[in-house]
């Protein structure tokens, strides 16, 4: 259903029926993820939920069980606009069953520095690929009457000092690179909402950016959607209300409210400005069926663990998996033994951390996925530690002593010591205050659990406050505080502490947290850590090598965790955490054949690359992770992905690296030369693997290339591709333009995927997007010019494998 497009005159009329205070009330959230209704004008409650890898609902954690999708980089690696549309459509289904009107995605910031903690949520380093995939996702979602939200406007590429960082970006770079995905998704697909980031851009907060928000987005692009703030990002009243932002999130407390009413009365904000914000809000409500006759919601959509969802999510994941190298070992052949090794083999990372997390119905590990396909041919060996910080216990590690069910029992007390509530959840070992469901002001939380396995274990606590931990009669006290203060740090980067204990299964554990008064909605988290203590690394390596030597092929699964790929924190290195490099080397030295599976969304360093037979990148594959990886390893599905980020040879060997602000600023001084553009211009060493690289399971020849059209503004290239291998396969024909002017970087201008049977051929046309021939001249008041057409058109499988060159101009 696509509700009829609201009529602006009718919306203005509705606004005129409200007094100033009633209008302003609508412009701040009612809760963390809802907006206030206004029955007098037929406005229903609008409900927002995070994306982008699932629609987790109105709770930050522990909410409804929903489908966990493959992460954004993995989806993007399919280079498939139809697939992106399908993701939008499926997310809309997940939203509709929860009566959610707005999904807070896609994230379309670019992969500028590879240290950025949130790159896993964002599609790629390329603005065209990002923009076209985002536009398709938006269409898929909005065709079903659910609003998408482009985030985070703009120049929001790293997390360090994220609430204050000033991104310093020249105007041409801003427009040609960082604004381009927003422009494409706003003008081609009419995204109904956007989110202004936490950061400043050239000294002005994103939430107050008259130049970007009012001038470019609402002015030049004539965008008529709603611009909301990121959560707690708004720092001012008049400046943000006058700065093109329409809505403050979350609520009910915020910097607008009475202060905005007073600012209007003092003449600092025009009432017509408030009216425009409300018109946009009502337009959104009309579009999603929350104004006037409220929409009806389907109830018969596929459940997150239904067979149809499983298949959809598995297919989306396999399409983006990317073969970096393959010395004839993949897909796995024969009937011999397979040793599956690594912590990521047994605890496969299906998603990143932060607001993109969802409460998934299940997550299949690579070990379980391969065992399901290959049975007792598979030997599973756990690997080295991959985390430095303990995470909350798996519910299976503990039971609530009162109910006997998996998970922890929580008792919430007020300051007088009265029990407010006792709760227990079979899927959770944490309790989160931000979810707005404390039944009063909490001053103490008591966590009780009984261990289900014998030691040696690490037992501890997570969450800000004064803790007393009691295990088997012995007590320890400690105080935990956030390490990196910032919005939501208590939830996004909570402090934790654990201590080794050797106790038998059945031992009771009690942890008591004393906190300053926690009102409902407070960003607080309390959790219990119970995990098996780390084993000696030498023992782990020896076990892995022995299993590898005994098998026909070893599959080592390595990767990152939510310590690196998360919100609020950046990375400091691209090296694999822990002793995973040693694990790969130990396995490669012992095994007849070694396949490395990289379970990470973003590039990692591979010092052992020459010692292994194949490297497969599987991203963060969502709930179907292990089944998808197994399908690809065995050849049941082709890993037809192409990299969406250039993989460098070393830390710092990239065109843009630093993410630590200097005097509060991160300077984007590489201009438009990020990623492959900068490597190609010699501004960084040749990479290990180029953006666009990916081998698939077959081989390709290109012939009969012709270019049509006016190369000054656009171009169309035709080419015949021959599948020269013995498997059906999918090729992604990529077209780049390398301007003769060295001040202008090479850039992707178009691509077309094609599926061709073994031994067959197909003629493919790729049309360049005219926006890639634009150049911004001058500062903020400058204008667009057309690039001189002189240069080369390149047909390439990533710029490390250029198949055809056409000189133009």
Query: One of 230, 368, 581, 769 is an active-site residue; which one?
Result: 230
Identify the burial level of 508 via C-beta atoms within 10 angstroms of its C-beta, where 0-12 means exposed, 13-18 middle and 19 or more buried.
middle
Q: Contact with ligand BGC (CB under 6 A): which of 104, 370, 428, 795?
A: 104
Nearer to ligand BGC by Cβ, of 231 and 776: the residue is 231
Which residue's beta carbon is nearest to the bound ligand BGC?
A: 355
Total residues at interface with ligand BGC (CB under 6 A): 8
* x/- letters, 632..651, toward ligand BGC (CB under 6 A): --------------------
Rounded Cα gap, residues 783 and 777, in angstroms: 5
Q: Is 458 a catalytic residue?
A: no
Give the shortest CB-682-to-ligand BGC separation in angstroms. 35
HSE-CB for 37 with a 13 A CA cutoff: 12
Identify the burial level of 419 via C-beta atoms within 10 angstroms of its C-beta, where 0-12 means exposed, 13-18 middle and 19 or more buried.
exposed
C-beta separation of 308 from 90 below 8 A: no
Nearer to ligand BGC by Cβ, of 61 and 600: the residue is 61
Q: Contact with ligand BGC (CB under 6 A): which of 137, 182, 231, 410?
A: 231
CA distances from 597 to 85, 324, 606 (A): 28, 10, 12
Beta strands in 600-728 (DSSP E): 614-617, 665-667, 700-708, 716-723
Q: How big is the CA angle at 671 (ends 668 and 676), to the nearest 5 degrees?
A: 105
- Residue 212 DSSP code: I
Give the shortest CB-611-to-ligand BGC separation in angstroms. 39
C-beta separation of 433 from 61 below 8 A: no
Which residues inside 540-599 make contact with ligand BGC, applying CB under 6 A? 567
Nearer to ligand BGC by Cβ, of 162 and 730: the residue is 162
Identify the burial level of 203 via C-beta atoms within 10 angstroms of its C-beta, where 0-12 means exposed, 13-18 middle and 19 or more buried.
exposed
C-beta separation of 316 from 69 below 8 A: yes
Which residues inside 53-72 make contact with ligand BGC, applying CB under 6 A? none
The neighbour count for residue 740, using CB atoms within 10 Å, is 14
Q: Is 488 in the site for ligand BGC (CB under 6 A)?
A: yes
Burial letters 428-452, b for 16+ CB under 10 A, else e? bbbbbbbbbebebebbbbbbbbbbb
Nearer to ligand BGC by Cβ, of 488 and 694: the residue is 488
Nearer to ligand BGC by Cβ, of 231 and 751: the residue is 231
Give the shortest CB-121-to-ligand BGC separation in angstroms. 8
Q: Is 769 in the site for ligand BGC (CB under 6 A)?
A: no
Give the shortest CB-232-to-ligand BGC separation in angstroms. 8
Nearer to ligand BGC by Cβ, of 525 and 598: the residue is 525
CA-based nearest residue to 460, from 525, 410, 527 = 527
Whether the CA torsion 573, 579, 580, 585 is positive or negative: it is: positive
Which residues inside 36-55 make contact with ligand BGC, applying CB under 6 A? 50
Rounded Cα gap, residues 78 and 603, in angstroms: 17
Q: Is 151 in the site for ligand BGC (CB under 6 A)?
A: yes
C-beta separation of 179 from 169 below 8 A: no
Nearer to ligand BGC by Cβ, of 38 and 161: the residue is 161
Give the shortest CB-233-to-ligand BGC separation in angstroms. 8
HSE-CB for 51 with a 13 A CA cutoff: 35
Give the shortest CB-488-to-ligand BGC separation in angstroms. 5
Q: Is 230 in the site for ligand BGC (CB under 6 A)?
A: yes
Give the shortest CB-42-to-ligand BGC separation in angstroms. 27
Q: Is 101 in the site for ligand BGC (CB under 6 A)?
A: no
Q: Could you tell me how many residues make up the chain?
A: 809
Phi, psi angle pair for 282, to nearest 5°: -70, -35
Q: How big is the CA angle at 32 (ends 29 and 36), to the nearest 5 degrees?
A: 30
Nearer to ligand BGC by Cβ, of 50 and 80: the residue is 50
Q: Is 613 in the site for ligand BGC (CB under 6 A)?
A: no
Rounded Cα gap, residues 567 and 160, in angstroms: 10
Give the shortest CB-148-to-ligand BGC separation in angstroms. 12
- How distant is the alpha carbon of residue 534 from its chain centre? 29
Residue 52, preceding peptide bond in cis (omega within 30° of 0): yes
Nearer to ligand BGC by Cβ, of 118 and 444: the residue is 118
Q: Is 344 in the site for ligand BGC (CB under 6 A)?
A: no
Nearer to ligand BGC by Cβ, of 493 and 670: the residue is 493
Give the shortest CB-487-to-ligand BGC separation in angstroms. 6
Nearer to ligand BGC by Cβ, of 104 and 338: the residue is 104
End-to-end CA distance of the chain: 48
Nearer to ligand BGC by Cβ, of 356 and 384: the residue is 356
Give the shortest CB-405-to-ligand BGC separation in angstroms. 29
Rounded Cα gap, residues 593 and 587, in angstroms: 9
Give the shortest CB-251-to-ligand BGC separation in angstroms. 13
Nearer to ligand BGC by Cβ, of 118 and 309: the residue is 118
Give the shortest CB-344-to-ligand BGC separation in angstroms. 26
3-class SS string, 329-364: CCCCCCCCCEEEECHHHHCCCCCCCHHHCCECCCCC
CA-based nearest residue to 155, from 129, 133, 122 = 122
* x/- letters, 717..746, toward ligand BGC (CB under 6 A): ------------------------------
Give the shortest CB-50-to-ligand BGC separation in angstroms. 5
Q: Is 355 in the site for ligand BGC (CB under 6 A)?
A: yes
Q: Is 359 in the site for ligand BGC (CB under 6 A)?
A: no
C-beta separation of 231 from 250 below 8 A: yes
Where would I find the H helices in 470-566? 489-492, 537-550
Rounded Cα gap, residues 370 and 367, in angstroms: 5
Rounded Cα gap, residues 174 and 505, in angstroms: 58
Residues lying near ligand BGC in the complex (CB under 6 A) are found at 50, 104, 151, 230-231, 355, 488, 567
**Residues labelled catalytic:** 230
């Amino acid at each position: 259903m696509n509700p009829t497009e609201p009529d602006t005159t009718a919306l203005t009329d509705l606004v005129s029926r409200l007094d100033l205070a009633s209008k302003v009330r609508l412009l701040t959230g009612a809760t963390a993820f809802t907006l206030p209704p206004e029955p007098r004008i037929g406005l229903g409650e609008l409900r927002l939920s995070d994306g982008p890898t699932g629609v987790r609902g109105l709770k930050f954690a522990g909410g409804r069980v929903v489908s966990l999708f493959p992460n954004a980089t993995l989806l993007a690696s399919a280079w498939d606009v139809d697939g992106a549309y399908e993701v939008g459509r499926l997310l809309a289904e997940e939203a509709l069953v929860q009566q959610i009107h707005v999904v807070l995605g896609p994230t379309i910031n670019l992969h500028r520095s590879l240290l950025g903690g949130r790159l896993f949520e964002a599609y790629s380093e390329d603005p065209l690929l990002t923009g076209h995939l985002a536009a398709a996702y938006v269409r898929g979602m909005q065709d079903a009457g659910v609003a998408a939200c482009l985030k985070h406007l703009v120049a929001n590429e790293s997390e360090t000092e994220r609430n204050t960082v000033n991104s310093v970006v020249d105007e041409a770079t801003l427009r040609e690179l960082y604004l381009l995905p927003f422009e494409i998704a706003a003008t081609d697909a009419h995204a109904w909402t956007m989110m202004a980031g936490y950061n400043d851009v050239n000294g002005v907060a994103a939430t107050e950016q008259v130049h970007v928000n009012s001038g470019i987005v609402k002015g030049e692009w004539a965008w008529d959607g709603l611009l909301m703030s990121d959560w707690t990002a708004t720092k001012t009243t008049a400046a943000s209300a006058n700065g093109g932002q329409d809505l403050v999130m979350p609520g009910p407390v915020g910097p607008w409210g009475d202060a905005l009413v007073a600012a209007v009365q003092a003449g600092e904000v025009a009432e017509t400005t408030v009216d425009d914000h409300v018109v946009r809000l009502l337009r959104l409500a009309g579009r999603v069926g929350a104004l006037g006759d409220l929409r009806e919601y389907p109830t018969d959509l596929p459940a997150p663990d239904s067979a149809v969802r499983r298949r959809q999510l598995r297919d989306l994941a396999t399409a983006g998996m990317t073969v970096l190298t393959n010395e004839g070992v993949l897909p796995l052949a024969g009937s011999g033994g397979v040793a599956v090794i690594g912590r990521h083999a047994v605890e496969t990372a299906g998603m990143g951390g932060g607001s993109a997390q969802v409460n998934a119905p299940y997550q299949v590990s690579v070990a379980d996925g391969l065992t399901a396909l290959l049975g007792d041919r598979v030997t599973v060996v756990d690997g080295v530690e991959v985390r430095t910080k303990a995470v909350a216990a798996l519910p299976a590690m503990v039971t609530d002593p009162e109910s006997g069910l998996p998970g922890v029992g929580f008792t919430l007390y007020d300051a007088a010591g009265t029990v407010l509530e006792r709760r227990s959840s079979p899927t959770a070992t944490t309790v989160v205050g931000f979810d707005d469901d404390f039944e009063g002001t909490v001053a103490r939380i008591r966590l009780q659990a009984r261990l289900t396995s014998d030691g040696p274990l690490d037992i501890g606590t997570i969450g800000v406050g004064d803790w007393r931990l009691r295990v088997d009669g012995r007590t320890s006290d400690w105080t935990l505080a956030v390490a990196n203060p910032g919005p939501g740090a208590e939830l996004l980067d909570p402090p934790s502490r654990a201590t080794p204990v050797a106790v038998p299964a059945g031992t009771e554990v009690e942890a008591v947290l004393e906190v300053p008064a926690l009102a409902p909605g407070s960003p607080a988290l309390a959790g219990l850590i119970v995990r098996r203590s780390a084993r000696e690394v030498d023992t782990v390596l020896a076990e892995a090598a022995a299993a590898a030597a005994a098998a026909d092929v070893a599959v080592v699964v390595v990767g990152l965790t939510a310590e690196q790929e998360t919100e609020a924190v950046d990375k400091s290195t691209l090296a694999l955490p822990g002793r995973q490099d040693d694990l790969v080397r130990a396995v490669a030295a012992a095994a007849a054949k070694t396949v490395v599976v990289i379970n990470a969304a973003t590039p990692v360093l591979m010092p052992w690359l020459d010692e292994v037979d194949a490297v497969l990148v599987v991203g963060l594959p969502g709930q179907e992770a292990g089944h998808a990886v197994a399908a690809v390893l065995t050849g049941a599905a082709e890993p037809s992905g192409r990299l969406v980020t250039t993989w460098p040879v070393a830390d710092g060997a990239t065109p843009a690296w630093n993410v630590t602000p200097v005097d509060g600023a991160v300077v984007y001084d590489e201009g438009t030369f990020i990623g492959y553009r900068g490597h190609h211009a010699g501004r960084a060493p040749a990479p290990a693997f180029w953006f666009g690289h990916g081998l698939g399971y077959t081989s390709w020849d290109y012939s009969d290339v012709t270019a049509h059209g006016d190369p000054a503004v656009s171009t169309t290239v035709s080419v015949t591709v021959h599948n020269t291998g013995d498997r059906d396969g999918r090729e992604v024909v990529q077209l780049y333009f390398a301007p003769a002017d060295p001040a202008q970087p090479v850039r992707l201008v178009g691509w077309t995927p094609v599926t061709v049977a073994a031994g067959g051929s197909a003629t493919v046309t790729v049309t360049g997007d005219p926006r890639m021939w634009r150049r911004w001249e001058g500062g903020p008041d400058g204008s667009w010019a057309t690039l001189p057409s002189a240069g080369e058109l390149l047909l390439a499988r990533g710029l490390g494998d250029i198949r055809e060159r056409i000189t133009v101009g």
